[in-house]
């Protein structure tokens, strides 16, 4: 089973910066890589804290597991206190940060039967995209089962400083930035 390429609890002496979403929430990140091209600085960022995903879990008529990621702020706000309480029993402390929920604390060891594999469709080369998530805990809210997970691969953000030296998140598809992202990734 693949493991995370880094220990999310390891003490880093790397440079950090904070990204902020439209709602004013912040997310401290390590600068994994930086690259200057044409007087623009491009950055590959990874959250300082542990990224967390909450999923609603159902069983269909064939007893297959169906999981759906919660990404609506209202739905997250409704269950946040319960999720926070249950996660604290694992000595992990949930935070509603920018772009993703995060937790502080020490992750439990990865157990093979606690890994959820999500089917993410196919990439441009018709290759299957799968994401593996480590299960942290489960809880119920209003008769609905939820699971709290963390990705086994690092959550990366692609950013740059704009002409006014403000940090902005960018998409690789935006302005044909894919070659720059590939160069940042290849430097790892």
Q: What is the Cα–Cα distance from 87 to 70, expressed in whole angstroms?
A: 16
Q: pLDDT at position 122, please?
A: 56
Its domain, for residue 100, covers 54-153
- Specify which residues 135 forms β-bridges with: 149
Do both 82 and 149 map to the same domain? yes
Do both 117 and 145 map to the same domain? yes
- Dihedral sign of CA atoms 179, 40, 100, 31 in order: positive
Q: What is the Cα–Cα distance from 27 to 21, expressed in whole angstroms?
A: 8
Total domains in the chain come to 2
Q: pLDDT at position 80, please?
A: 96
Q: What is the Cα–Cα distance from 75 to 101, expressed in whole angstroms?
A: 13
- Please indicate, yes or no, if residue 66 is contained in any of the structural domains: yes
Q: pLDDT at position 137, please?
A: 93
Q: pLDDT at position 61, please?
A: 58
Q: pLDDT at position 2, please?
A: 35
For every one of its 188 residues, what pLDDT tens digit does the chain have, with 9 covering 90 and above? 333 333 443 444 569 999 999 999 999 999 999 988 888 889 999 999 999 999 998 876 566 778 888 988 999 999 999 999 999 999 999 999 999 999 999 998 888 888 888 776 555 665 657 889 999 999 999 999 999 999 999 999 999 987 788 888 988 887 778 888 888 888 65
Torsion, Cα 11 18 47 92, to 10 degrees, reads: 80
- Please indicate, yes or no, if residue 2 is contained in any of the structural domains: no
Q: pLDDT at position 103, please?
A: 97
Do both 147 and 174 map to the same domain? no
Do both 103 and 73 map to the same domain? yes
């Amino acid at each position: 089973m693949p493991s995370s390429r880094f220990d999310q609890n390891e003490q880093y002496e790397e440079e950090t910066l904070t990204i902020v979403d439209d709602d004013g929430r912040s997310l401290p990140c390590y600068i994994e890589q930086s690259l200057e091209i044409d007087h623009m600085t491009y950055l590959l960022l990874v959250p300082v804290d542990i990224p967390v995903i909450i999923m609603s879990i159902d069983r269909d008529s064939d007893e297959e597991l169906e999981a759906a990621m919660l990404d609506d702020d209202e739905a997250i706000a409704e269950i946040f206190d319960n999720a926070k309480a249950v996660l604290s029993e694992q000595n992990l402390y949930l935070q509603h940060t920018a772009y993703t929920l995060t937790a502080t604390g020490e992750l439990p060891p990865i157990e093979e039967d606690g890994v959820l594999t999500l089917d993410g469709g196919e990439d441009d080369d018709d290759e299957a995209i799968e994401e593996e998530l480590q299960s942290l805990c489960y809880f119920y809210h209003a008769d609905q089962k939820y699971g709290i997970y963390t990705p086994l691969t690092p959550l990366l953000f692609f950013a740059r400083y704009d002409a006014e030296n403000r940090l902005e998140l960018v998409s690789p598809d935006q302005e044909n930035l894919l070659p720059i992202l590939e160069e940042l990734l290849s430097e790892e």
